[in-house]
Amino acid sequence: MTTSITTSEYITEHCGKSLSKATNLVRFPLWKRACNTLDDVTFAHHGILRVMSASSSGRHYLQTADEIYKANVCHSSYFNALKSKRRMKMMIALEKQSYQIHTETLSALGVNYLKQFPELDEYRVEAADGHFIQHACHTNKNIKGKVYAAGFIHALNLKNGLIRPLCVVTNGTERHQEIPVLRNYIEARTDAEDHKQKHLYVYDKAATDYAWWDKQKNNQNFMISVLKDNATTTFVESVSFDTADEVNTGVESYGIYQNKKAKFLLIEYRDPETDILHKFISTLPKSINPGTIAMLYYKRWTIEKAFNNSKSDFSERKAWSQDLNALNNQMRFTAMAYNIARVCEEKSKAETPECIHPSEQKYNKALNKRQEAARSKGKFVNPLFFYERITRISSFTIHSLQNAIITGKSILALMSSLAAKLLPRVREIVEH
């Protein structure tokens, strides 16, 4: 990161690096084409800035770009590019490299929110979920005269907090279920890539398809979910586990079960704080600790905080168009804007390790109060909750990023302002 450049220039530089890496990976990329009116880097830059500017429409953003960012973008060129199939394919390649660059940055900073689970080191662990927003203004009605919400599926990396756009579910012209779309995406990705990388998807119980996930184990795709109340399962055998290991706190049983011909793991976990019994299922190998599986499902809810950032701080509550190419671009621009904000916040925390983010301090205080309340009832909070967690990107961080773009503040000054918001770390010793 060149610290002397402005925040807006940093975003442009990042887009340029991502596009360069994407271009170098393919000998003759079919999506590469020169355009003097609106080149690909500028298109990507304005896509991210549109998300960060919280504009209510495309025309609103272009006026903002002209009057505030001093960038005169031709209306027809912008909207044609947004719906272009070539630009959409280019953004798929660019966003993938952008994600990789951010991953390497956070890895160098030592960011790993799952380091207490070393058995997951060889997996890409993601909490995935559907995210639905209002359809675009001019979305065509179906034969019944109805329109629906536009929807996407995103995946949050539970190791570093970065978000990845997976696929568009619907543009609002028809009502679609997200799970068949998710299955199609995973199958297409598996066919296009090698099977060396193990993928673990943490999804709600709507994703439960025993036979399909059982086959996906051969493609290194695994899942964690919660057992449906009406599920039909047959016990096969118990799986031994270390009851003395802190990771397995609350686990009452661990076994292999069967639904028709498909086999899977079933974990019975009783929350030591509330005494409520939860049943989780997974297609992971039985060498994985059952407590790890239970805790990962708890962490699944972190993705809702990312969606909250998108709707509340970036004001991404409405589809940009009913065109599927445009929706694919919107999905990627939103993820890229979120990831830039995430990296900025993580860098500010890494550069001042003696300090803590206010939201983390607030959470720790609430956790200690929960521990005291539980002890008064003869119970306790699961010790795994006391480890570091992925926090919601603070509104202060996103607003600072937005203001830095408007005022031309340098990326170094932005980092300094974020670090100044952190509080001195007070070490509190809590017996688990």
CB-count exposure of residue 3 (10 Å: 0-12, 13-18, 19+): exposed
Return the pLDDT at 128.
97
What are the residue ranges in the chain where pLDDT is below 50? Answer: 429-430, 432
Question: Beta strands of 149-291 (E only): which ranges?
Answer: 150-157, 163-170, 198-202, 221-226, 234-238, 251-259, 262-270, 277-282
CA dist 341 and 151 (Å) reads 23
Q: What is the DSSP string of 292-328?
A: HHHHHHHHTTHHHHHHHIIIIIS---B-S-S-HHHHH
CA dist 285 and 321 (Å) reads 43
Return the pLDDT at 3.
56
Q: Which residue has the tokens 């039909």?
A: 232
Closest CA to 198 of 150, 152, 159, 151: 159
3-state helix, strand, coil in the chain (%, to 5): 45, 15, 35
Please enumerate in sequence order all residues whose Cβ is within 8 A of that of 170, keeping only pairs 6 or more positions apart, or say none: 148, 149, 150, 151, 176
Return the pLDDT at 193.
67
pTM, to two decimals: 0.94
Please enumerate in sequence order all residues whose Cβ is within 8 A of that of 286, keeping only pairs 6 or more positions apart, or say none: 239, 254, 256, 265
Return the pLDDT at 418.
95
Q: Which residue has the tokens 């060498």?
A: 287
Return the pLDDT at 246.
96
CA dist 197 and 188 (Å) reads 15
Return the pLDDT at 429.
46
- Other C-beta atoms closer than 10 Å to the C-beta of 153 total 21
Return the pLDDT at 182.
95
Tell me which DSSP letter residue 214 carries: H
Return the pLDDT at 135.
95
Tell me which DSSP letter residue 136 carries: P
